[in-house]
Amino acid sequence: LPSMLMFGVILASSGLLLMIEKGILAEVKPPPLYPATGELSRRVGGGEAPGDLDREVLRDIRNRTIRSVCGQRAMPRSVWELPAGQRRTVLRHLLVSDKYRFLYCYVPKVACSNWKRILKVLDGALESVDVKLKMDHKSDLVFLGDMKPDEINYRLKNYYKFIFVRNPAERLLSAYRNKFGEIKEYQLKYGVEIVRRYRKNGGKSAGDDVTFSEFLRYLLDEEVERMNEHWMPIYNLCQPCAVRYDFIGSYERLNEDANHVLEKVQAPSFIRFPERQSWYKPVTAETLHYYLCNTQRRLIKELLPKYILDFSLFAYPLPNVTSEFCRQ
């Protein structure tokens, strides 16, 4: 990661400093991300539809920031400039569709299961996106990391490349609630150790009672490159400087952005992005507010540098944990 001094310069040059200040000092909503200028624009009576100006501003902030960050001398300009471990990570998160000539960098907790479902339908391995079965995250999927260097280079150069991003704080809370509240495997593999490490007399825990603060303390002590993919920063998973993505979709505009991608890759018209399952419990603004405001402010501030590129590159405001906001 760039030094904090360099990062301050980047923020100032891209106009994000004001956004971050507002994110700390006033209530803000996660700003959505939108396609490139002219794509999916909606016109009303020949003029711009409400919100179009905000979309343009956010697009400009995101594009300027990515250019500023990725233009730094120390930043990688291809996957081959990455250290071996980082290169393995991004290549095994890039899914390939040779039939439709696209690469999708999947990010856990950003609707990646549904995108994998779509890839399987496009490849003929699955009959419909609505088939009710547990997602197998390995079979019937093609990973760029399994290919030879010349095959990798050709696809990176010639295929349509996209990712979907999400508010980093919301993504962490979603991972916490899902993995430690519902998945026994994660409770035993990570939960037991987290409680033992950060709680007095926590040796008898089954790992199903990890608090959000304990989870954040664990993330603070973890090396980014050794993190589980469900809470590893999006930057480290998908390396947006080393891979020049053609489109960055957002969780906040999931259906609209997904439809844009499906149209762009010329997917069959009968393929649509799946509806959320009835059992899915989304992270609401109120839920995020509750968890953040019941966590030590110092802990949140200390953790932010690990996720600062996700906040800045994808134009998300930093968490608002001021006393005034938390009293609401």
Q: Which residues contact 247 (CB under 8 A, 6 or more apart)?
A: 35, 36, 160, 161, 162, 163, 257, 260, 261, 264
| pLDDT the model gives residue 276 | 72
Q: Which residues pair with 44 in a beta bridge?
A: 47
The rounded radius of gyration (Å) of the Cα atoms in the chain is 20
Q: How many whole angstroms separate alpha carbon 322 and alpha carbon 214? A: 21
| pLDDT the model gives residue 29 | 38
Which regions of the chain are under pLDDT 70? 1-52, 54-56, 59, 133-137, 277-280
| pLDDT the model gives residue 77 | 92
| pLDDT the model gives residue 54 | 67
| pLDDT the model gives residue 8 | 45
How far apart, in Å, are the Cα atoms of 37 and each of 33, 40, 135, 178, 316? 12, 9, 35, 36, 19
How wide is the angle at C-alpha 241 spanned by C-alphas 238 and 247, nearest 5°?
A: 65
| pLDDT the model gives residue 105 | 98
Rounded to 5, what percent of the chain is helix, strand, coil?
50, 5, 40
Q: How many whole angstroms separate alpha carbon 245 and alpha carbon 258? A: 15
DSSP state, 96? E
| pLDDT the model gives residue 52 | 58
